[in-house]
Amino acid sequence: MNKNNTDKPDVSYPMRLQLFLARCGVASRRASEVYITDGRVSVNGVVQTELGTKVTEGDTVCVDGNKIQLEETKRYILLNKPAGFICSLSDEKDRPTAASLLSPYFSERLYNVGRLDMFSSGLILFTNDGEFAAKISHPSSEIEKEYVIETSLPIPHDLAERFMKGIRVDGVFYKCRDAQVLSSRRIRVVLIEGKNREIRRVFESFEIGIKRLTRIRIGSATIDGLQEKQFRELTEDDINGLYASIKTNEV
């Protein structure tokens, strides 16, 4: 697990408040907008709820009363999350978080890009770069995410084909980019959108239980060499590869 520093980002003022929050590692720019509209952000002691608010160098910005500042080092982390850990910075039920696996190694505030449900394992990205998070996680980027699923019963012969053509479950349309049966109870699935619990809901519609669901790839980044709970910092080539995976739409 190597730790590589990245160059300090270029900063120019005045800067939109949501961008400042994102560059401080609070959350993605879109999530930072919610922080602002919810009245959780103050500038020089005054709560700001307008998204057009700008900050200048020397302003004191606080989130929930805690002062924040620009992160000097941008981090891009690939973690192999075990099942049983949730993708949240904190949990009211005191369940273990994926972020807690990284906190002993990094002083920066890192947050997950996208999610894996508690019972799933595999790759999850963490960063303190809001711009990176916004581009990678935006649905229009269509970055491939690859999973291997182990089932409790034999996989129906038509599941892969129907999933690739598209399936409607409880009024929601699910469609994978690719699906390949590996054995009677193992299948590989590639998604580009990843709606909430998509794979589980599709398999439930076939009355097939999932014993293990593992994400093995995000774009060009693979799980190769990472055991559960292990992580590595993305190299410049890794980051460029992820950007190259983004569909050529504006995101």
Q: Is 117 a catalytic residue?
A: yes
Hey, what amino acid is at 33?
E
- Whole-number Å distance between alpha carbons of 144 and 52: 34
Per annotation, catalytic residue among 7, 117, 129, 238? 117
- Whether residue 27 contacts residue 90, with contact meaning beta carbons closer than 8 Å, is answered with no
Long-range pairs for 198-201: beta carbons < 8 A, 24 or more residues apart: 198/174, 199/147, 199/149, 200/117, 201/169, 201/170, 201/172, 201/174
Q: Which string of b and e fits 69-108 if b means at least 16 CB within 10 Å? A: eebebbbbbbbbbeeebbbeeeeeeeeebbbebbeeebeb
Backbone angles phi, psi at 79, to 5 degrees: -115, 140
Residues 82, 211: contact at Cβ < 8 Å? no
Active site residues: 117
